Structures are given as C-alpha cells and as structure tokens.
Amino acid sequence: MPEPDVFSALANPVRREILMQLRKGPRAVNDLARSFELGRPAVSEHLQVLRKAHLVREEPRGRERYYHLDPRPLSEVDDWLKAFTHYWKQRLAALEDVLNEEARK
Amino acid sequence: MPEPDVFSALANPVRREILMQLRKGPRAVNDLARSFELGRPAVSEHLQVLRKAHLVREEPRGRERYYHLDPRPLSEVDDWLKAFTHYWKQRLAALEDVLNEEARK
DNA sequence: TGAATACGTCGGAAATCTCCGACGCGTCAA
DNA sequence: TTGACGCGTCGGAGATTTCCGACGTATTCA
C-alpha cells in the first residue's frame, strides 16, 4: 500500500484520461469503464489510486458511485514545474538572443 | 523498452530530484550518485529514462559525462495541467462568489 | 421476497520498475 | 604501457503495477 503520490497517479495514461473526462462532470464507474477498453475492476482500481491521491471524490447515488474531479492536488505538480518554468524561460530568452544575433549577420 | 514518456519519467522521486539538481548546472554521474544513497548503476539507469524522455542531454568530458537539464519536454506536462488550471480557477471563483454571498448576509 | 444491477476488493498472473554486482570499453596519469 | 577511474549495460532478484475472474455487499425493481 504505497502512499498517495500525485506524480505516480499521473504516470498512467488511463488515469490521466479519467481525470480529463471528469472535467466535464461526475461519472459512474461502469460509465467510465465503457470509455476505455477495460474491465470494471481495472477502472475501479485506477479510481482507488486517484482517490488515495485525493484527485477524485466519490458521491454515492443509490447503487452507483459518481466520481468527481478534485483538481487541487494538481497544484503540487504545478508548483514543482514552476521551479523549471523560470529556468526554461531564461533558456528560451537566451536562445532567442542567439537567433537574433544570427539573423543580424 | 518502453517509449519515452515524460509523465512516467517524473513518477520517480529520485528522477525528480536529479532534475532539480541539474537546474544549478551540469553534473557528472558519480557526483550525482553521491547525492543519493544509491549505487552508480541505479543513477545511470535513471539518467537513461530521463534521456529517453529528452529531459537531459549528455556532454562527454574526457572520461566523465556531464548531464545537462533540458526542461522543454516539461511543457507537455504544463500544457496538460492547463486543462485543469482553467477548471480549478473556475471552481475557486465559484467558491469565492459563495463566500461573498455569505458575507453579504 | 427474489432477481438483477453497481460496486469494491481479493487472489493471482503477467508485465514493468528499481536496484545491485559484474563485466567491458574508453580515458587519464604515471 | 599499465593500472586506476568513470561510465553504460547486462543478468537477475525483489518489489510494484496492471489487469482479470470471482466473490460478497448494498441498492433497485418487479
């Protein structure tokens, strides 16, 4: 039972696609399973990973469970990326300078 | 031999830390290995993953190999996140509205 | 009440990940 | 040239991931 890790949760393309779909609104598990060529257990287990990473929230409705997106933990990834955004904008600016220098010749 | 996937490359905390360290400048492999409590083969294999994801570039210097950060593929993650930034800013705005509504009472 | 539905979870199989020791190759220094 | 160093990669061990069929539970509907 590994701890909930947002980066690991995003490592799987199916889970990323689940999050994408949940943007448009909550979905039941069987409904999601039909979107992918996957059995229900597989989808259910992907949802468990997303749940442990607090990226989704479940809302029981009768015998179904609707899963809602909770994008807040994504800010951790965003923050991590910011440490590089600054760096790569510097790099891009430097590259641009070089290109301008070349063009001037 | 899985294909180079930026999200998978970021799933491992050691690889994320390697990228963090490379922000400050290029590093040789043994030098990196000393930072972690890891053998050199492990670090070398992490670097292979990062290389296949095009997140690092190697520059041979004599018998050493200095690894440079290439943050450009990170923009793929950034773009993916943008699909949610918009969503979660909407959510935050909606929450703010509710709070303002409450405060007005 | 009983049958059908929606779901979570438990083995278990197959694939993948992560790490290490060992080996080979190229480079440096004596 | 010889020995030591820095590195990549292979073979293999152990852990983890990903998927499925099977089972149990709760809910719905006839």
- Which residue did the predictor score with more confidence, A102 or B38? B38
Q: Is the pTM of this model over 0.75?
A: yes
Q: Is the CB of B14 under 7 A from strand C?
A: yes
What is the pLDDT, as a whole number, of residue B94? 66
CB contact under 8 A, A7 and B8: no
State which fold the A1-71 domain adopts: Arc Repressor Mutant, subunit A (1.10.10)
* pLDDT tens digit sequence for A1-53: 556 799 999 999 999 999 999 999 999 999 999 999 899 999 999 999 999 99
Hey, which residues does A77 pair with through a beta bridge? none
Nearest to B81 among A69, A77, A87 (CB): A77
* pLDDT tens digit sequence for B44-85: 999 999 999 999 999 999 999 999 999 999 999 999 999 998
Name the nearest CA neighbour of B24 among A58, A94, A90: A90
Name the nearest CA neighbour of B65 among B82, B75, B50, B81: B50
Name the nearest CA neighbour of A10 among B72, B12, B32, B101: B12
| Spatial distance between the Cα atoms of B63 and A29, rounded to a whole number of angstroms | 55
| Spatial distance between the Cα atoms of A73 and A23, rounded to a whole number of angstroms | 15
| Spatial distance between the Cα atoms of A92 and B103, rounded to a whole number of angstroms | 45
CA distances from B4 to A3, A8, A24, B55 (A): 25, 16, 29, 10
